[in-house]
Structure 1
């Protein structure tokens, strides 16, 4: 392996991580007392990393358990988007009248940030008995 390849793939990323860690440590000690230091962040997150599938409560779970829950939520949202978007796309492509009717709406909604859909989803699904935040997240994923 060439020395330049080793430097490019290992040494430079380590230098970058050290610089970010150093700036973080300096900022936590001088600029903001509310910002935890890298060591404090490690101490607080160590439990989630060392026991990645632990379930200690609804909001106290391991990092891989949270990751799995997030992936399931994304899969549900993607499936919903696929089930609604595919027929809608076929209809938009097959019918000039349908396309001319709904294209202006899509063009207006296109530049809206995905994060802006979440509050709308929370409002729309606040009356449902099921988890409002899960439905709002599914809505956001499906729309985007």
Structure 2
């Protein structure tokens, strides 16, 4: 193999590796993007566990299984997807403003998951909650 053949083979190999990597990371590759909400959600939080203590206080929240679970100022439990629908950054719950907030680009969502301020263009996926004694079930 001469020098030109070697360089051509090296270039084709490098290009194929780069192309494969780029296609694998593309949001339009047909797979689930990080901003897609988790599916088949069904889990239970034990409110007596120290890891879930934030949910004992109005305005407290935690994240679990790709979901933000919060206790509103009024004492109701709510659950939405954890990531912003704009670019998949994690959301925070702001009880005093009754909203979910993305620190990255400033998108806001109401407690019912609806979009209140962009740059996101769609609402959050909302999950059902059911309190039975000290067990809080979150499910789709």
What's the TM-score once normalised by structure 1's chain length?
0.23
What's the TM-score once normalised by structure 2's chain length?
0.24
- The structure with more helix, counted as a fraction of residues: 1
